[in-house]
Amino acid sequence: MSIKLEHINYIYGEGTAYRKQALKDVSLEIPHGQFVGIIGHTGSGKSTLIQHLNGLIRATDGKFYFNGEDVYAEGYSMRNLRNEVGLVFQYPEHQLFEVDVLTDVCFGPKNQGLPKEECEKRAKEALEAVGFPEKYYGQSPFDLSGGQKRRVAIAGVLAMQPKVLVLDEPTAGLDPKGRDEILDQIAELHRQGDMTVVLVSHSMEDVAKYVERLIVMNHGEMVFDDTPKNVFSHYKELEEMGLAAPQITYIMHALSENGLNVDTTATTVEEARDTILEALKKQKPSLLKKGGRSE
Ligand code: ADP
């Protein structure tokens, strides 16, 4: 289920005083199965971009091919596109509304016209995939904690078994533990499933840890599209856009500037630990011995 956008422009409020060009000449190809991150400051066009992916908004001009088919051609089934591309909005728990968790998660597959047993089967699989405890299936979604509500909302999209899962800041407002758990589960789903994942995030640490490809948006334009490591090597340019590299990048550069020969492209804590230890072993072995630890 590949995605191909060609020269997409999107303008809000064309012909009014509020005209705003939110996307400028965006071209992008995502092969099936990739885990892609999108970052950018508020208002850079991230939400507008991802709403194109399931046809919620239609480009002012440009082309969109889903699995080789022209989405904007006459007769193309938008319903089909929405079944294949599941979009989890920011604060998706605001859209929970059914009397209990299981019924809520069944809503999507029911809408797809699936029989009741199949809906329940899919809903249970989806709830299990996001780590939601079975004993609360009968609970009102409104009585759950913030993290659990978020899980139910994500399960509601997963139950439709999309081939592409698009998440707009899925961890916004969660505490660090809830944030890590949800992202770990999404990464696990990506590993196990036959699914493309597009993750919009504000957190450089999160994208560095999880995604294989990172797209940076700035004022409606796609300014970087590369591996997270390569993108973060432009940390000075990112700063000019009001963004920053992961904190680790700054620590690595500071250590290097102070004479420790570390790999400055390390972006995760684990990579940083390895390269610091390696450099210490070579340059300052006595430091490691003094602390009584060799690792
Ligand atoms: P992001 O998700 O990166 O915060 P958005 O895609 O929401 O960015 O917004 C991109 C630009 O489009 C911003 O300047 C924003 O103010 C504008 N915009 C977003 N939604 C609307 C709308 N419904 N009407 C008019 N302008 C909008």
- pLDDT of 294 strictly over 50: no
For the entire predicted model, the pTM comes to 0.91
170 CA from centroid of ligand 1 (Å): 18
Average pLDDT over residues 216-224: 97
The minimum-distance atom of ligand 1 relative to the CA of 45 is 6
Nearest to 157 by CA among 47, 210, 82: 82
43 CA from centroid of ligand 1 (Å): 5
- pLDDT of 261 strictly over 90: yes
- pLDDT of 295 strictly over 50: no
157 CA from centroid of ligand 1 (Å): 23
pLDDT in tens, 171-190: 888 888 888 889 999 999 99
Which pLDDT score, from 0 to 100, does residue 194 have?
85
Average pLDDT over residues 36-42: 95
